[in-house]
C-alpha cells in the first residue's frame, strides 16, 4: 500500500486546526505522514497541535512567503508516494476516506491522480452544500479549461509528478499546479460520487476574488489559448445570467 503525505498549511488557525487534526487521526488507514507547515502562528495553533500528539505528524513552524511558499515547503519535505493537501479547517469526509484513496491507488497500478467529490463546510464544520463544480467522471487536461472542476483537497497526486507551486501567482497557483499535474499524468482515477473531503469555504473579499479570477483567466489563456478562453468566458457569463434569472423567477 502507498505511503500518503498529508500536508497541512496553517497560520493563526487555533479555531479550525483541531478539526483537521481529529480527522487525520481518525483515519482507519495508517500508512501516512502528516506534515504541518505553520507560519509562526501567534494564537493557540501550536498548542492545539501539541495537544494531539501523533507519531506520524511532523510540525514545522517558521516564517514563510505566503500560502504557496508554505505549500512548497511541505512538498519538499514529503516522503510519501502520493501527496494531498488538507489545510486548517478542512477534513476527510469519513474515517475511511484515506483507505478509499489507498485502495484505488493499489487497484489501478499506482495512477498519476486519484480524485473525488467535495462538500463545503462553514467555520463551525457544518455542511453548507456541494461545490458549484462537480468532479467529472473522466478527468483530462481539457477538463480544467472549465475551471477548478476538482477541489484541490480532493486531488491526490503521485509525488514524482508534483511540481512546486508557481509563486508568481498569489491566489490561483493551485489551479496552475493541478493543470501541470494533469499534463504529466497518464492515468486519472475518479471515485464517482464518493465524497473525499469537507472543504472549509472561508470566502474571499471582493478585491481578492477579482484578483483570483484574473489570475485564473491568465492561466487559462496560457494553457488553453486566449481566443478559446475568451469565448468560453462569454459562455460562462451567459449561463450565470440565466441561472440568476431562473432563481429570481422561482422566488416570485
pLDDT, tens digit (0-9, with 9 covering 90-100), for 169-196:
999 999 999 999 999 999 999 999 999 9
User: What digits encode the pLDDT tens for the residues 24-82?
Assistant: 999 999 999 999 999 999 999 999 999 999 999 999 999 999 999 999 999 999 999 99
At residue 206 the predicted structure's pLDDT band, cuts being 50, 70 and 90, is: low
Instruction: Determine the Cα–Cα distance for residues 115 and 136; give it in Å rounded to an integer.
Output: 10
Report the DSSP pairing between strands 91-92 and 82-85: unpaired
Residue 216 dihedral angles phi and psi, to the nearest 5° = -65, -40
Rounded to 10 deg, the angle between the 206-224 and 226-251 helix axes is 140
240 pLDDT above the threshold of 70: no
135 pLDDT above the threshold of 60: yes
pTM greater than 0.85:
yes
Q: Looking at 12-21, 108-117, 122-131, which range is the least confident one?
A: 122-131
Q: How many residues does the chain have?
A: 252
- Is residue 157 classed as helix, strand or coil in its secondary structure? strand
Instruction: Determine the Cα–Cα distance for residues 145 and 148; give it in Å rounded to an integer.
Output: 8
User: What digits encode the pLDDT tens for the residues 77-110?
Assistant: 999 999 999 999 999 999 999 999 999 999 999 9
Percent of residues, the chain, with pLDDT higher than 90: 80
Q: Give every CB contact of residue 203 below 8 A, 6+ residues apart in sequence.
A: none
Inter-CA distances, 155 with 51, 111, 151, 236, Å:
29, 12, 7, 24
**Nearest CA among 168, 170, 250, 157 for reference residue 209:** 170
Amino acid at each position: 500500500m502507498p505511503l500518503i503525505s498529508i500536508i497541512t498549511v496553517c497560520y493563526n488557525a487555533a479555531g479550525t486546526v483541531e478539526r483537521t487534526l481529529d480527522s487525520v487521526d481518525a483515519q482507519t488507514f495508517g500508512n501516512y505522514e502528516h506534515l504541518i507547515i505553520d507560519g509562526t502562528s501567534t494564537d493557540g495553533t501550536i498548542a492545539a497541535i501539541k495537544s494531539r500528539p501523533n507519531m506520524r505528524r511532523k510540525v514545522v513552524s517558521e516564517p514563510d512567503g505566503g500560502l504557496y511558499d508554505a505549500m512548497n515547503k511541505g512538498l519538499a519535505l514529503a516522503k510519501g508516494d502520493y501527496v494531498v493537501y488538507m489545510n486548517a479547517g478542512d477534513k476527510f469526509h469519513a474515517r475511511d476516506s484515506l483507505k478509499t484513496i489507498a485502495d484505488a491507488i493499489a487497484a489501478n497500478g499506482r495512477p498519476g491522480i486519484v480524485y473525488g467529490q467535495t462538500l463545503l463546510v462553514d467555520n463551525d464544520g457544518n455542511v453548507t452544500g456541494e461545490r458549484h463544480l462537480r468532479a467529472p467522471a473522466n478527468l483530462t487536461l481539457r477538463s480544467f479549461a472549465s475551471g477548478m472542476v476538482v477541489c484541490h483537497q480532493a486531488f491526490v497526486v503521485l509525488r514524482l509528478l508534483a511540481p512546486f507551486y508557481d509563486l508568481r501567482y498569489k491566489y490561483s497557483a493551485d489551479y496552475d499546479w493541478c493543470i501541470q499535474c494533469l499534463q504529466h499524468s497518464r492515468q486519472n482515477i475518479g471515485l464517482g460520487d464518493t465524497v473525499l473531503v469537507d472543504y472549509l469555504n472561508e470566502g474571499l473579499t471582493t478585491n481578492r476574488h477579482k484578483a483570483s479570477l484574473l489570475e485564473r483567466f491568465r492561466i487559462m489563456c496560457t494553457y488553453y489559448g486566449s481566443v478559446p478562453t475568451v469565448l468560453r468566458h462569454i459562455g460562462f457569463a451567459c449561463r450565470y445570467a440565466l441561472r440568476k434569472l431562473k432563481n429570481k423567477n422561482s422566488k416570485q
